[in-house]
Structure 1
Amino acid sequence: MEALAAYADTNETVLSGALLLALPVAVLGGLVSFFSPCVLPLVPGYLSYVTGVGGADLGAARRGRMLAGSGLFVLGFSVVFVSAGALFGGVGDVFQEQREVLTRILGALTIVLGLAFMGVLRRVGQREFRFHHRPAVGLAGAPMLGLVFGIGWTPCIGPTLTAVNALAFNESTAGRGAVMGLAYCLGLGLPFIAAALAFRRALGAFGWVKQRYALVMRTGGVMLVATGLLLVTGAWDRIVYEMTYWTSTFEVAV
């Protein structure tokens, strides 16, 4: 670990390697959150609310309106999650000396929440906190509803978000932490937009996923546990070091 720290002081690409490794995990975490039982069943309701179109008419609504409503909704919760990523990244920079210990603590928490996600620990991470404030219906209220979703649904999607924020903390800069939050929002937000643009087809896909919720939850839980183990054991930093060494020796032929 001392060698890794020394290398990081002289070559900032160590963090770039970490970011390159962490981004796919963050995107996958967003996808798992979207297909979780506390988000997927509510998608039609959210789309109806942010577009001002009745549920029965969503399939026939204009694509421009559906795109605008879903995009503004995603923008709203992205503000929350990107800010959270920047905060964790900034904290990681402040507590650089204790980063290794804190990273392992966050990794252990990720493992616990991953087990809860799989249903092994049923009393952990099962609560939801929702704001009862209801923003205006339609495009004008879409960003605010996104903000409410981002804040109020955090305990529900907490397991995957915790893993992403743990990796953001490991980045040790607010900027890279924000990029981690953005990657999570892409995984969570793009399916919302895709569902808005192809609502009728999306309903069929949603039905297929609903029949396999157990598989989705177990797969997501395994991903979280694996990420937590990498953080706890220090294997994450070792993989990043190897990636950085490999990329530093790569030269582009001109």
Structure 2
Amino acid sequence: MDQRGFYKRSRQYTFTMTVLLIFAFLSGLVTIFAPCIWPLLPIVLSSSAIGRGHRRPLGITLGILISFGLLTLSISYLVRAFDFDPEIFRYIAVVILIILGLILIVPFFSRVVEGFVSRIAGRFGNPGIQNNDFLPGFLTGLSLGVVWTPCAGPILATIATLSATRNLNIEIILVTLVYLIGVGIPLFFFAYAGQRIISKTRLFNKYTGVAQKIFGVIILLTALLIFTNYDKFLQAKLLDAFPSYATFLNDLEGNDVVKKELNNIKNNNVENEFENNDLFNQNIKAPEFVGITNWLNTQKPLLLSELRGKAVLIDFWTYTCINCIRTLPHVVSWYENYKDRGLVVIGVHTPEFEFEKKTENVENALKQYKINYPVAQDNNYGTWNAYSNQYWPAKYLIDKNGFVRRVHFGEGEYKETELAIQKLLGISDETSEMPDMTPTTRNTPEAYLGFLRMNLFYPNGAISNGTHDLTLSKNISLNYFSLGGKWEVANEYSKTMQNSVLEYHFIAKNVYLVMRPGINKSAKVKVFLDGKPVDSLNAGVDVSSGIVIVDKDRLYELVNLDSQEEHTLRLEFETSGVEVFAFTFG
């Protein structure tokens, strides 16, 4: 490379890295608004309010940032070097918080600690230590940083992935530092402003002793939450209650420059033994699992770093996705055929809708589709973001050295995928004769009935959030639907109210609809095709005598024709409260 090309490449690297650092800083700044940090704010406020001046808020802030940053970047190295359970840090944090809480509540503990600090101050000849608010604040912050898990966007997911796989580099350390600076600025001002407001309140000054005991109780309750792991449950519930934050974070960090630089950091220009060909279309290091909320069909969480020497197939799916469902028999077959020959299959269940986050619903799907391989619930899109994935289904085939060698999105190419599996395993067998059910004709496209993604409502494309009294349109255009009666439109779904009906002018062989009974245990829906009750020849598997019973949160097959045909589907809902999410066609 000539000197001009070198400088041009250097300038381009500097620009993209600068953009990444700017967005890492912005991502840290907005963390104060994230549901994942809300459980920490009461204890941050309580601990800050006890002191005077800026030292205690500064100590808490630095403690949180230092412990979180050091553990995030080094925990994998520490565990490997000293072979210990990282949960010990949680228990240490619990002990520290209990001591701090008891100091505020029980005078005896307060006197003991004051005496201890006085002796240290006398030994070092520095009486100022005794009145220093920084140290207790710093200890509190260290404890909180150990157990805090921020809401992960693409940037934090990359940090966690490279840390977990012990692939740190100077770029990821720099990104982490800038992210933490962004977190620290609003966190310090929150703690300091809260302290100032409380200290200026006359009622607080009048009852200082009582207030300290209340703050001590808050700290002890936090310790109990951490000890029982209920803090993680609370964080997950808050994130579920405010899903728009995850969308906002992905939008903030999702620009092309940031994605490109994150991929460069993850890949780090590492070569691998295979060359790209028809079977192997990728050559990048596989990201580690990040932010998994639950594991099914396995006794312990899995790590790719512990699966070196094996071929690994990762399947991103969700149980109401018909495209995913059609691929599952192939994935199950590969698992059964090759599990004893070195193949590990891991399903990553990343939900499209809120109800798909329920473990019970996913467990029912595993039984229904006879899935016996491990499945990770990626409810907060941590692993999805780590892989920069955008599709259901998506398959990532990883070789024995931990490199992604083949990626395929959607249905099809089952033979090629199986041949790639065999090549990675070093075997040569006949491939499965299972038929490929991938649609070969153009059907009506997928249609969403929630406001955020509704675009096929006739005639306006979409209708706004809220309650509507609607009249069915006549002469609905092909590929569009219309609603009649009273409906409540929400972000993800439309909910039936009074005399609710739906008509869809479609062209397809099969019609599927994602529904949930809502507040009902079950609900009846009448199914009509071209104005007549759908008969047994054309009814989907979930329809009997022209009626579908909605009793679970899942995908329902409404129509099953002999071939692709054009018809008008009509649904009459006898029960209010049924939530309808999305149509798919096959």
Q: Return the structure number with greater relative CO, CA threshold 8 A, min gap 6.
A: 1
Considering only CA atoms, is the larger Rg found in Structure 1 or Structure 2?
2
The structure richer in helix per residue is 1
What's the TM-score once normalised by structure 2's chain length?
0.24
What's the TM-score once normalised by structure 1's chain length?
0.49
The structure richer in strand per residue is 2
